Amino acid sequence: MPNKAWRWFALVLPLLVLGVGIVRGEHAIRTGEAWRFDIGGYDPRDLLRGRYLLFRVELQWGERHDETAEEADCACLERTPGDAAPILRPASCSFARAGCDSFVVRAELEKLDRFYIPEARARELEKTLQDAAARDAAQILVRINRNGTPTLVDLLIDGTPIGE
């Protein structure tokens, strides 16, 4: 009997872990505050990992937000008019949590560099992104949760998600 229980546990545990990961990702996408960042050059191919667009987030840095001696391992986000990318002001995470309306952990922000795309639309989206990047019309939509962790939601071309 105990052997049968272990088999069920071994079967259900991976499914439970997968389900928790999906729910956590969906929660981050639905509850975080939305921000748009401009993106620049890209490399569209990685044959071993699948099809994705690899790009560089073009961040606009302002002056340091606080005068503490701590490491500036976070950045306060300041909205700009329209859909322009925000100004990031370096700050310590302790200051950012207490003194900023919204903040992001800098190390996490640096991980936003790729967007997976459907294989069937790969060529079309590569060309679209190349044209949009030349016109400075490419952005990513990011949701940042209250812990400062960003989640890439969509790729925007002229303000429109590529899925539409």
Which of these, 125, 106, 121, 107, lies nearest to 42 by C-alpha position?
A: 125
Question: CA-to-CA distance for 93 and 71, rounded, in angstroms?
Answer: 8
Q: How far is CA 103 from the centre of its chain?
A: 13
Other beta carbons less than 10 A from residue 50's beta carbon: 11
In this prediction, the residues of the chain whose per-residue pLDDT falls under 50 are: 47-48
- Contact partners, residue 100, CB within 8 Å, separation at least 6: 65, 76, 77, 91
Predicted pLDDT of residue 138: 86
Beta-bridge partners for 152: 142
Residue 139 · residue 156 · CB < 8 Å:
yes
Predicted pLDDT of residue 104: 92
Predicted pLDDT of residue 164: 63
Question: CA-to-CA distance for 135 and 128, rounded, in angstroms?
Answer: 11
pLDDT in tens, 100-138: 888 999 888 888 888 877 777 778 888 888 888 888 888
Predicted pLDDT of residue 105: 92
Beta-bridge partners for 60: 87
pTM above 0.75, yes or no: no
CA dihedral 27, 108, 44, 47 (to 10 degrees): -80
The per-residue DSSP string of 94-110 comes to HHHHHH-SSEEEHHHHT
